[in-house]
Amino acid sequence: MKKKIIFLVLILLIFISCIEKNNRKKDLTNIMNKSLTDKIEEVIEEQKIKYKYPMKGKRIVTISFDNFSNCLIKISTDFYYDADRIDGYTFFDGYLIVFYNAHSICSKDMLNINALTIFKDSIAGYKDYSQLNMDYEIITKTYKIINKDSLIPIHRIQCR
């Protein structure tokens, strides 16, 4: 009887965990479209594979919309955010997702700016660049925005 109860509790915990993971994903897709969500997940997975050892500090994903001659989006993993550039943020799968230049024309079909949390002074538990105290490597991917469903990789930069 005791084994059955333990088994049922384990099944219940697994079920709750799956529901919670799906809810986190739904929350993110309400903020941004699927193509951007997929690219964020790719960068997070690449970071997890590259850095198998425990990371010191909380991880942040930064997203920057740039409107030069073409609309570009840069997605990076980081330990710090730039308090002078941040337009808003959200959380996903244990990561802080920070948006820069989110009011750009380039973000129009990619991002629901009104769904972001508005930045005020600081984000509890996370550091801005004024607190930078280490050298580290970040993963950055740059994409050209063709349309809301198509992001084409431009090049890859790894430095900091």
pLDDT tens across 36-47, in order?
Answer: 989 988 888 887
Q: Are 93 and 44 in contact (CB under 8 A)?
A: yes
Asked if the model's pLDDT at residue 159 lies above 50, the reply is no
* pLDDT for the residue numbered 6: 79
Q: The pTM is what? A: 0.73
pLDDT at 50: 76
- What confidence category does residue 157 fall into, taking pLDDT thresholds of 50, 70 and 90? very low
pLDDT higher than 60, residue 69: yes
Q: What pLDDT, on the 0 to 100 scale, is given for residue 86?
A: 92
Q: Return the pLDDT at 52.
A: 64
Domain ranges, ordered by start, for the chain:
2-157
Residue with tokens 């079920």: 15
Single-letter residue type at 98: V
Q: Between 151 and 47, where is the model more confident?
A: 151
How does residue 28 score in pLDDT terms, banded at 50, 70 and 90? low
**Which run of H or of E encompasses 63?**
strand 60-67
pLDDT at residue 136, rounded to an integer: 72
Which CA distances in Å does 19 have to 7, 42, 91, 109, 140?
19, 21, 17, 28, 30
Two tokens, residue 69: 């001659």
- The tens digit of pLDDT for each residue in 113-149 reads 899 999 988 898 898 888 777 777 777 889 999 888 8
Residue range 50-78: mean pLDDT, rounded: 77
Q: Decide if pLDDT at 22 tops 50.
A: no
Picking from 4-18, 83-97, 133-147, which range would have the lowest pLDDT averaged per residue? 4-18
Query: Do 88 and 116 touch, CB atoms closer than 8 A?
Result: yes
